[in-house]
Structures are given as C-alpha cells and as structure tokens.
Amino acid sequence: MPSHPAAPQDDALVLMKLAGPVAILELNRPAKRNAISLGLVQALDCCLTDLPASVKVVILAARGEHFSAGLDLSEVPDMNAAQGVHHSRAWYQVFERLQFGRVPVIAALHGAVVGGGLELAACAHVRVADETAYFGLPEGQRGIFLGGGGSVRVSKLIGFSRVTEMMLTGRVYNADEAFRIGLTHHAVPPGQGMAKALELAERIAGNAEMSNFAIMHALPLIAEQPMSHGLMTEALMAAITQSEPAAKQRVEAFLAKRAPKVERA
C-alpha cells in the first residue's frame, strides 16, 4: 500500500506529489536547509519504493530557500570510521536507485546546492537551476571528504580538475557559471525552476519507454566501455529499442507525415 501519494504528510522528510505521469519529490527539512540526514535518505528511498507504476518521470526539488546544505553535519561527531563507511554506503544505495531506477529524474535546483546536496543533484539525469542557485563542495573546509558519490558523479560532469579546485579553494559557482561548465543543463530566472522542470518532464514522459530506459542505463555504461565494446552495446540496444511496437508506430507516423518535425531552436 503506497504510503505517500494518497495523503502526503506535511511533516515527512520527503514529500511526494503526483501530477499526471510526473512524481514531484520535495526535500522537506527547510528549517535545517534540507541537510541530508540518514532519515532523509531513507525517506527518499521509501518514495522511490512507493512510486506508482503510472509515473514516468521524477522531479526532485526542495522546500524553503535552499535545495540542500549537504550532509547533516550533526551526524558527523558521533561516527567512527566503520560507521562512516556504512553511512556512505547507505547514501550510495539510494542514490543508485535514483540514477539507475525505472524512470528519469529531473533536479529542480535553487539556493544552496552544496556538498551532499550537489552529490544528490548529480544523480539526476537533467538539472535545471534558477538564478538563485549556487554550487559548492565545502568538505575541505569542514575537514571531511565527499561521501555521497560526488568524487565519481560530479567529476564525470565537470572533470576531476574542477572538482579538485572547488574542494581545495572553496570556490562556489553561480547558476550561470554552473550552466557554462556543464554542471546544469538549464538556467532559468528565479522561481521558474519547477515550471521548466515540468515542461521537460512532459517531453520526457512522451518518449517511448524503451528509449528512456536505453538513455538512462546504456549511455553511462557505454561511456565506460572501450570503443569496441561500446559500439557493440549500442548496436544491441538500438536493435532492441527499434524492435519495440512503440518505435514502429512512431517511425511509421513520421513517414506518413503524422508526426511533428524537429523544429529550429
């Protein structure tokens, strides 16, 4: 029995709202700037488990002034090394479910997107940031290290050299800069992140499901394969997607001039 869609509880750490084929998951700890506690990670996990089958896209957003202040630092002082490893691994499990789940995820970002908040945003397939957003990795200043997969995911987005410089110097990128270095895909005026995310979600939900699956699951795999393996994976994935009835219908509709053309941007 889904615990979230029917009656979202206002005090839940993550809220789930449904809008047609889109599930909007909102971090809901604004008083603590959506600092990511283990409880919040578990709440995110529950939402992913409860996603109705009708959902085709997830939008990840947050209540309050900031997307997320990162790791809940109040959890750090009591952790020994072994607990630290398990702590990171608990994050990895849920973040992995976001990135390699059933449906694509769009992050709608505003305010602080820092530390673990940026690691979380890096799991999304599409990132939209409004102009209030800023991005930092203050782990160096706090005497800790990335522990939510950022060494891998953020480095893949902007290169490990930029991550190194961000972490060593405490550099913060604004929304415009984040867009230019490829940390985000869209920069929009303040307060318009959700509208843009919903517009993109509608488009993604309109794609054939097997195409979305291949984009989410095959592309990252191919990026890590040697060329010969990558080309083989691509060819197999292409053969599978184009054999789907949805592909046949869509291609036939285009050939019969019943489908829209690609428009100039």
- In the set 26, 65, 96, 119, the catalytic residue is 119
CB 204 within 8 A of CB 57: yes
SS3 172: strand
What distance lies between CA 208 and its chain's CA centroid?
A: 20
Instruction: Considering the candidates 26, 65, 139, 244, report the single residue annotated as catalytic.
Output: 139
Positions touching ligand 1HE (CB under 6 A) are 32-33, 35, 65-66, 69-74, 91, 112, 114-116, 138-139, 142, 144, 146-148
Residue 224 makes CB contacts below 8 A (sequence gap 6+) with none
> 154 or 237: whose CB is closer to ligand 1HE?
154
- Annotated catalytic residue 177: no
Whether 119 is catalytic: yes
Hey, which residues does 188 pair with through a beta bridge? Answer: 130
In the complex, minimum distance from the CB of residue 127 to ligand 1HE, in angstroms, rounded to a whole number? 17
Q: What's the min distance (Å) between Cβ of 129 and ligand 1HE?
A: 15
Reduce the DSSP state of residue 11 to 3 states and report it.
coil
Query: Of 73 and 247, which CB lies nearer to ligand 1HE in the complex structure?
Result: 73
Alpha carbon of 120 to those of 61, 96, 153, 222, 258: distances in Å? 11, 10, 9, 22, 40
Percent helix, strand, coil in the chain, to 5, is 50, 15, 35
Instruction: Report the residue number, 91 or 173, with the smaller CB distance to ligand 1HE.
Output: 91
Q: How far is the CB of 179 from ligand 1HE (least distance, A)?
A: 20
Closest-approach residue to ligand 1HE (CB): 115
Minimum distance of ligand 1HE from residue 135's CB (angstroms): 12
Residues with a catalytic annotation lie at 119, 139
